[in-house]
Amino acid sequence: MTLSAVLDRIDADLPDALERLRGFLSIPSISTDSDYAAECRRAAEWLTGELRGLGVAAEVRDTPGHPMVVGHTGGTGKSVLFYGHYDVQPVDPLELWDRDPFDPAVEDTPEGRVIRGRGAADDKGQLMTFIEAIRAWKAVHGELPGNVTFLFEGEEESGSPSLVPFLEENAEELRADVALICDTGLFDRDRPGIVTQLRGLLGEEVVIRGADKDLHSGSFGGLAANPVRALARIVARLHDETGRVMVPGFYDGVPDLTPELAAQWGGLGFDASTFLSGVGLSVPAGESDRGALEQLWSRPTCEINGIRGGYAGRGFKTVLPAEAAAKISFRLVGDQDPLVIRESFRAMVREMVPEDCRVEFHDHGAAPASRMDTSDPAFEAARRALSEEWPHEAAYIGAGGSIPIAGYFQKILGMDSMLIGFGRDDDRIHSPNEKYDVNSFHRGARSWARILDAIR
Ligand code: BES
Ligand code: ZN
């Protein structure tokens, strides 16, 4: 009875909710770029204002990096911690955007209505689904749901450097019966998912230096070491011809897919060619002997994210470059140990660097994979609640991306997380023209209202 009133309230409030989201999206809270530190704080203050407006006791909490936002509804009941992040990825290449990334707007597209702007899907639009559900709850019940804590982070897109100390210092305040993390996607447009396993992440940057300056490739080429050539050899040896990663010991701790999970995922009817066709591809390029969802959700990978060195500008330049560099990330699963893999990778690279070159490594974060224990009845209750809202029944799924906080909640707070989100594969997160479907935003808020009603 009251649930349907809350859902009606969310429906009626959608235009205003979209306006609020537009305001939030117009704050350029890019966490990796220190030029935007004041904007990150402004986003934290904006959120604090939203929460206080609802009667939540909320504050901006300083950290050595960007601030956290913490809020409590007070009261009693099963305790729930809701997590999202207010920081966003950089926008470049800016010229590929069809609009100013921080002047968001609702657009009608052939696939439906979307709100477009940086952070629309990752993670501001998702984070707001929960706040909108709370707003409607309060309007109908006359009070906030009891015992809900909010934690909003501003460094998720830059490796969460302040997160672990913050969780350790505030463990008592933040610990809850269950954490709700809204930073993942739907399985497909009609079927929501609860993510039960996430891949971990290891980020490494390799810089190889040769001569003390760029050289003429005719005067010096052949005799002088070329760092770009050295780097290309190294990068080419990271995989074998079947797609296996060649870093020694890399597969230690990688579990085989259990028959139960294989059957569960097999039943989802995922088609690799259809999935790839959404981004202009058609042929799976990973480990040739593994299933598509297995490759995305439960196999580790090594990807070259970027490579630089020499002259890549307009025209042509016969240069023998002094320096070459690559940014490389590893997605990790099971019990793979990021620190052991880092050392093994570095040793392998050092071994291949020519005698006359020097190599330097930069650490870009390391977090292990995480798996959720779904035995808490809240998981099944949430799955049923989601199934009520969406056309197809909710599924337990995996996610290829990484959300290190899920692992820290387990390790530091002893708390399992329900990872539920409403993003779509075509949202272009981390890419130009990011969008969030109005349907995701609307049904997302309705989903949280149902879940809160079901688990408390
Ligand atoms: N929301 C994403 C993670 C994600 C993406 C989960 C797609 C499920 C599906 C998150 O904001 C993110 O991008 N995380 C980074 C890791 C971070 C440590 C930089 C990632 O996965 O690359
Ligand atoms: Zn995110």
From 66, 164, 183, give the residue whose CB has the most ligand 1 atoms within 8 Å, as the site to mutate.
183
CA 412: distance to chain centroid?
A: 20
Cα separations in angstroms, 233 against 19, 229, 248, 346: 51, 6, 17, 15
Rg for the chain, CA atoms, rounded: 23
158 CA: nearest ligand 1 atom? 19
Taking the centre of ligand 2 as the mean of its atom positions, its distance from the CA of residue 341, in whole angstroms, is 25
Distance 121 CA to ligand 2 centre (A): 8
The reply to whether ligand 1 has any atom less than 6 angstroms from the CB of 401 is yes
Ligand 1 pocket, 419 CB below 6 A?
A: no
Residue nearest (by alpha carbon) to ligand 1 atom 8: 184
**φ, ψ of residue 414 in degrees (nearest 5):** 60, 40
Q: Does the bond joining 123 to the residue before it have cis omega, within 30 degrees of 0?
A: yes
What's the CA-to-centroid distance between 105 and ligand 2, angstroms? 20
Say yes or no: CB of residue 87 within 6 Å of ligand 1.
Answer: no
The response to whether residue 185 sits with its C-beta less than 6 Å from ligand 1 reads yes
Is the shortest distance between the CB of 117 and ligand 1 below 6 Å?
no
The answer to whether 29 and 148 have CB atoms below 8 angstroms apart is no
Pocket test for ligand 1, best of 66, 83, 87, 157 (most atoms within 8 A of CB): 157
How far is the C-alpha of 7 from the C-alpha of 283, rounded, in Å?
42
Ligand 1 mean position, distance from CA 82 (Å): 17
| Predicted TM-score (pTM) of this structure | 0.93
Q: Mind listing the pLDDT tens digit of every residue in the chain (456 residues)?
A: 699 999 999 999 999 999 999 999 999 999 999 999 999 999 999 999 999 999 999 999 999 999 999 999 999 999 999 999 999 999 999 999 999 999 999 999 999 999 999 999 999 999 999 999 999 999 999 999 999 999 999 999 988 999 999 999 999 999 999 999 999 999 999 999 999 999 999 999 999 999 999 999 999 999 999 999 999 999 999 999 999 999 999 999 999 999 999 999 999 999 999 999 999 999 999 898 899 999 999 999 999 999 999 999 999 999 999 999 999 999 999 999 999 999 999 999 999 999 999 999 999 999 999 999 999 999 999 999 999 999 999 999 999 999 989 999 999 999 999 999 999 999 999 999 999 999 999 999 999 999 999 998
Q: Whose CA is nearest to atom 18 of ligand 1?
A: 159
Q: How far apart are the first and last CA of the chain?
A: 16
434 and 101 in contact (C-beta within 8 Å)? yes
Residue 200 CB less than 6 A away from ligand 1: no
Say how far residue 3 (Cα) sits from the centre of its chain: 31
69 Cβ closer than 6 Å to some ligand 1 atom: no
Q: Whose CA is nearest to atom 15 of ligand 1?
A: 402
Query: Measured from the CB, is residue 403 less than 6 Å from ligand 1?
Result: yes
Going by CA atoms, what residue is nearest to atom 14 of ligand 1? 402
Instruction: Tell me the residues surrounding ligand 2 (ion) with CB < 5 Å.
Output: 122-123, 183
